[in-house]
Amino acid sequence: MANIPCRNFLHFIQKRFLSASATVSTSPLSPSSASPSSFTVQYLINSCGLPLEVALSTSQKLRLDESDTRKPESVLKLFKSHGFDDTHIAKLIAKKPSILQCRLDEKLKPKLDFLVENGITGNFLHELIVRNTVLLSRSLDCHIKPSFKFLKDFFVNSDSVLAAIKRSTWLLTIDVERVIQPNINFMVNEGVPIHILRKFVMMQPRTLMVRFDRLITTFENVKKLGLEPTAPMFLNSFRVMISMSETTQNKKVEVLKSLGWSDQDIWSTFKRNPFCLAASEKKLRNMMDFYLNTMKLELATIVSYPRFLMFALDTRLRPRYNVLMILVSKNLIKEDKNKMAWLMTLNEAIFHKHYILKNLDKVPDLLEIYHATSRAKKTSQEMDKVIF
């Protein structure tokens, strides 16, 4: 063993355990010939579907008794009765191996039954449990049931409750009464209409899973921009602001200022479409470089239409610009900066119909040129992954 090269050690272990596991179902190892660890590995592979490497690491957190496998067998049977397939079970056991030793009738079964009774069934149930195994550790009576009650009282209808849980399974594992309820109460008291807040929380539940003091600070900062809590854009502005640290926000503001934007430009644009500041600093620089130096647009044009900062540079703007410049070179359209800027805002189907398909008889390879730009970028990104 000492002479086995390091790079071959894993292969040696794999071969040894695979050989043992191949016979476990017909000739199980006796307690005297197998350590608890080796039996656990074999069980995780044969009964739970774990790959060898995962089974080896998982066995360090779990010890199964070869003489009594009734508990893990019952756990697996319960999950299968709820439609969990082999892949679900393997992922679940790898993430939370202790579940195999769970007290079935006292802990696990009542939780699954409660979730099913409240509309969490089929794939929804499988994904919920596999994605957030912490749920299985939460008390049914002290945590899960109170969380459901709070969500039902807030949303009023069950469909909204389920939609919110799908978007963030943590709604069932965090302390909603301590974390989310104070945030909701504050926003309602500050004038956010309850029907708008319900829709917002259903679509973006994680936005309110923040410290109360941070929520208040962000809320007040949005109000300082001149947006009222009743305004349609208030919660979108709040969502973008609270998703960034103050440092990140300041860096993005400085990037835009370095490119000629004034404070008035930045915040008036943000109020009209806050998602323009959701872009990374790198994207903001690249977008502005393209608009100012390639398309030669005026800064005022970009400021007037905030969505310019939200378009995809390499899959929308560059391909369209290449097509339009070819059409200009063929005298098929006039080179008009303002019109070209407007053409960037058209939906894909309209642009495709009126500026590509319409001109294929005059420029047969126009469609290929359009798609080639996107493909070239994708290839470059793939090469970067390989090289670095």
Q: Which helix (H) or strand (E) holds 278?
A: none
The Cα-based distances of 63 to 8, 54, 97, 107 in angstroms read 27, 15, 10, 20
pLDDT tens digits for range 147-201: 999 999 999 999 999 999 999 999 999 999 899 999 999 999 999 999 999 999 9
pLDDT confidence tier of residue 376, bands split at 50, 70 and 90: low
Output the pLDDT for position 194: 96
Given a contact cutoff of 8 angstroms between Cβ atoms, the answer to whether 272 and 304 are in contact is no
**Tokens of residue 360, six digits:** 């294929």
Given a cut of 50, is residue 380 above it in pLDDT?
Answer: no
The token pair that represents 31 in the structure block: 């307690």
Question: Taking the C-alpha atoms of 193, 199, 203 and 205 in order, what is their torsion angle to the nearest 10 degrees?
Answer: 50
| CA distance linking residue 36 with residue 31, whole number of Å | 8
Unique residue bearing structure tokens 């309110």: 208
Sequence letter at residue 15: K
Instruction: Compute the distance between CA of residue 180 and CA of residue 198 in angstroms, rounded to an integer.
Output: 12
> What proportion of the chain, given as a percentage, has pLDDT over 90?
80
Residue 305 to residue 252: CA distance in whole angstroms: 18
Beta carbons within 8 Å of 355's beta carbon, 6+ residues apart: 320, 323, 324, 327, 333, 343
Higher-pLDDT residue of 376, 290: 290
Pairwise CA distance, residues 57 & 151, whole Å: 38
8-state DSSP, 26: T
Span 261-316, pLDDT tens digits: 999 999 999 999 999 999 999 999 999 999 999 999 999 999 999 999 999 999 99
Count Cβ atoms within 10 A of the Cβ of residue 276 and give its class: 0-12 exposed, 13-18 middle, 19 or more buried. buried
Smallest CA-to-CA distance from 222 within 235, 204, 213 is with 235
Half-sphere exposure of 240 (CA within 13 A, CB side): 19
Radius of gyration in angstroms for the set of CA atoms belonging to the chain, rounded to a whole number: 29
DSSP 30: P
Stated pTM of the model: 0.77
DSSP state of 219: H
**pLDDT score of 31 more than 60:** no
Contact 359, 327 (CB under 8 A): yes
User: Is residue 25 pLDDT above 70, yes or no?
Assistant: no
Element (H, E) at 32: none
Residue 12 pLDDT > 60:
no
For 204, half-sphere exposure in the C-beta direction (CA atoms, 13 angstrom radius) is 15
Cα–Cα dist 52/44, whole Å: 9
Beta strand ranges found along the chain (DSSP E) = none
Alpha carbon 182 to its chain centroid, in Å, reads 26
